[in-house]
Structure 1
Amino acid sequence: MRSKQTFSISFFVRKKKNQPEKALLYTRITINGRSREISLKREVLTDRWNTSGSRMMGSNIESQQINRKVDDVRSKLYQSYDDLKKENQIITIDALKNRFLGNDIKNITLIELLNYHQCKMEKVLKYGTLKNYSTTKKYLIEFLKVELRIDDIYLKQIDYKFILNFEGFLRVKPGLHNNGVMKHMERFKKLMRLALDLDWIDKNPAARFRLNFKSVDMIYLSKSDLKSIEETTFETEKLNLVKDIFLFACYTGLAYVDVKTLTKDHLKIGIDGKKWIFKRRVKTNTPIRIPLLKQADLILQKYSNHIKILDSDILLPVYSNQKINSYLKEIAAELNINKRLSFHAARHTFATTVTLSNGVPIETVSKLLGHHNITTTQIYARVIDSKVSSDIDSLREKLNQL
């Protein structure tokens, strides 16, 4: 049977060698006869210290401040002892001292976790993913300051209420819709799971939070939309350039960053003796091999001597994603394409209108897109199925009128 643990706290002063009229204030913690001293980094007048009462004598401001410090330290030491007990920790003199001083892993803060993740993942995650985590970090820091009016919080203090309040904080952010909020909450859940894996928390309060993504309509060009863009020559050079870069993505299925980083080294002669693109997706590092369709090859030839890429290995002069998306909105408006056009719609168009609708097997499309799992590609197949269903409904109506 384990013997009862003894625990005591005392305060004392130690005279300064060169100034015996002054002394430094210490606390002594004792557990089962073993003691540790901790300097409180306070200087007191030796003759005003009451040893038996562990208090400063007198009612001046200095005495009041020292006495408050003594009370505060005593309270925090007892709290640290109780916390260790509740956590079923083995309470040793060193464990208590470290808990009191904040040197143990139980006192890691949220900001420390965010900084740790940023440092460790800098060479692991892609630039875009890191940028997204930075935005989540920014919102978390803003939430602490604006809503909780604190600069930081211990991980062990984060509870389910904190998580719900953070979600509520995000939901009133201008321009941040449900799925955007859920993306930030998803990253926060991953951060808290990391804290659990590192043994910085005993229980993950974010584990119970359920992500609720809402399905959104997939934006892609129909055959007529695609033809309309291809056959239009715009008045400005910038719109014609954006049109061509966008069409190149429509006929290759490449994401924006993969088009932007496309170089001459990525062009190879494939097994059929024709031009292919051999590349790794920037986002996932997945290898992709894409036979170059005539429409895409003509665009490469058109810009082979463009001034912006003349002295480089880059194949296409690509604007920033933000600028391209802005110009695509102008193109959609000018051609009366009633869709929220963005560069990513090109990848969707390749999967649906260019390949699946023309009978390319889903397994082939999955490889062309660089998907790890064919279930991801099946999303596009469902879009095609809904189009088939819609067309058949129209056919039924026409047949019923005969």
Structure 2
Amino acid sequence: MQYDLSILFFLKKGQVDKKGLIPIYLRITVNGERSEVSTNRKVEVSKWDSDTQRAKGRSEAARILTDYLDSLDSRVKRDYNALNERGEVITASVLRDNLIGKNLKKYYLVQVFEMNNALIEKEEGQKYTRNTIDQYITTFNRIKLFLSQEYACTNIALSDLDVLFIRRFEIFLKTSYGIEHNTIMKHLKQLKKVIHFAMELGYLDRDPFLQHKTTFKQGSRGYLTSDELQRIETHKFRIKRLDQVRDVFVFVCYTGLSYSDLERLKPDSITKGIDGKNWIIYEREKTGVRASIPLLPAAQSIVDKYRDDPECLINNQLLPVKSNQKLNSYLAEIAELCEISKHVTMHLGRHTFATTVTLTNGVPIETVSKMLGHTSLKTTQIYSKVVDTKTSHDMGKVAEKLLQREVS
């Protein structure tokens, strides 16, 4: 059967409220049969364009209203096409009832999250790293705990998700776990991706994150000073595991490798570079960007130290790399023994390479960016700001000395 579909947005001018706002209605017409439904939105008559059936102007409010009406238009057309493909009878009232959710099957957040996590597990090592998969699992577990404690339930319909749900989850993460802003944003980012996955499946026709921004704060990057790095390098450790962990950490300080890339290194990861010297040339697991790092003498000496190490030979490893959790735990001991008050972690070694080892010694930021495998120079510029801060601090000391000289 042939159908003639018409969709019209119009103002119900007889229902103007005290603020002068008029409700916007949606009229669906199929083969002459009409059905109307409120869009639950209002607008001033002067800000409505009856020709385009959308809000006038380019303000943020106009854009949001237009996006919303566009989404309703798309939903009606999508339902119409789906019914048509299945050969079902299409009427204006059926399309209206589908739009308001009267005939729609409910889908739930927990099931979609489980489906998403199962799919990305299958792409481990290809599209997703183990670390990324673990992040999804952690966010999922915290969502379930949040539902239990804040909503006294084990699940929630996707259609019930809104900005308030997201905001409450954000506060829950902050108060229950005491985690910093950027970590909270990472959890919200995982949730947002799962919701968008549900929208792709047709389980949800609106985005609860549309009016919620997951913005990250640009924090300062900690690093070891040259003196602190030297203290760790030269300290004599009596315990073998601390000696090994120190070597692995120092290797990172002189290569800038992330943990995920470090643990993948094998003896054949060292190749001859364009200058005939040893380089590490690899693709970053996180971004897939090719990175090339010439081995500095300090890094080369560590490679030489473990060339015939039994543990490395058995595991086909370049260095005796343990789990990131264990390495960071042992680094806390190392920091205490070396009288360093900073929170020393494997990632701090990567920051140290970017600041103390390279940028501070005049290596161009473009070169540092390539060695770190960054996809954008903006990411590397965070480190240059740290170096600028140090320069300012050092020059402040010079100014003080010069002032004292003048006084004397």
The question of a shared fold, defined as TM-score above 0.5 by the shorter chain, is answered with yes
2: distance between equivalents of 1:277 and 1:363? 18
Using a 3 Å threshold, how does the CA distance of structure 1 residues 259 and 303 change in structure 2: closer, same or farther? same
In the alignment, which residue of structure 2 is the partner of 1:210? Answer: 213
The percentage of aligned residue pairs carrying the same residue is 40
Corresponding residue SS for 1:310: helix
1:138 partner letter: N
In the alignment, which residue of structure 1 is the partner of 2:138? Answer: 135
Tell me how far 1:178 sits from its aligned partner: 2.6
Verify the 8 A CA contact 2:220 2:382 in the aligned structure 1. Answer: no
Structure 1, gaps ≥5 residues long: 6-83
Verify the 8 A CA contact 2:287 2:375 in the aligned structure 1. Answer: no
Q: Aligned-pair RMSD on alpha carbons?
A: 2.7
In the alignment, which residue of structure 2 is the partner of 1:281? Answer: 284
Alignment of structure 1 residues 250-399 onto 2, 5 Å:
250-399=253-402
1: distance between equivalents of 2:220 and 2:202? 41
Tell me how far 1:175 sits from its aligned partner: 4.2
Confirm whether residue 147 of structure 1 aligns to residue 150 of structure 2: yes
Using a 3 Å threshold, how does the CA distance of structure 1 residues 152 and 270 change in structure 2: closer, same or farther? same
Corresponding residue SS for 1:289: strand
Corresponding residue SS for 1:233: coil
Using a 3 Å threshold, how does the CA distance of structure 1 residues 158 and 317 change in structure 2: closer, same or farther? same
In the alignment, which residue of structure 2 is the partner of 1:110? Answer: 109
Confirm whether residue 193 of structure 1 aligns to residue 196 of structure 2: yes
Using a 3 Å threshold, how does the CA distance of structure 1 residues 265 and 302 change in structure 2: closer, same or farther? same
Residue among 32, 37, 41 paired with 1:2: 32
In the alignment, which residue of structure 1 is the partner of 2:225? Answer: 222
| Aligned residue pair count | 321
Confirm whether residue 160 of structure 1 aligns to residue 163 of structure 2: yes
Tell me how far 1:94 sits from its aligned partner: 8.9
Confirm whether residue 119 of structure 1 aligns to residue 118 of structure 2: yes
TM-score, normalised to structure 1, is 0.74
TM-score, normalised to structure 2, is 0.73
Corresponding residue SS for 1:268: strand
Instruction: Using the TM superposition, name which of 209-218 and 160-169 deviates more.
Output: 209-218
Using a 3 Å threshold, how does the CA distance of structure 1 residues 134 and 327 change in structure 2: closer, same or farther? same
Corresponding residue SS for 2:224: coil
2: distance between equivalents of 1:146 and 1:225? 45
2:32 partner letter: R
Using a 3 Å threshold, how does the CA distance of structure 1 residues 111 and 227 change in structure 2: closer, same or farther? same
Verify the 8 A CA contact 1:106 1:201 in the aligned structure 2. Answer: no
Alignment of structure 1 residues 13-28 onto 2, 5 Å:
none
2: distance between equivalents of 1:201 and 1:239? 52
1: distance between equivalents of 2:103 and 2:352? 54
Tell me how far 1:104 sits from its aligned partner: 7.9
1: distance between equivalents of 2:117 and 2:230? 45
Using a 3 Å threshold, how does the CA distance of structure 1 residues 237 and 103 change in structure 2: closer, same or farther? farther
Tell me how far 1:188 sits from its aligned partner: 1.5
2: distance between equivalents of 1:336 and 1:281? 33
Using a 3 Å threshold, how does the CA distance of structure 1 residues 168 and 262 change in structure 2: closer, same or farther? same
Q: Deviations over 1:44-70 (max 9, x none)?
A: xxxxxxxxxxxxxxxxxxxxxxxxxxx
2: distance between equivalents of 1:347 and 1:151? 41
User: Which 4+ runs in 1 deviate beyond 6 A?
Assistant: 91-96, 102-105
Tell me how far 1:93 sits from its aligned partner: 6.4
1: distance between equivalents of 2:269 and 2:102? 52
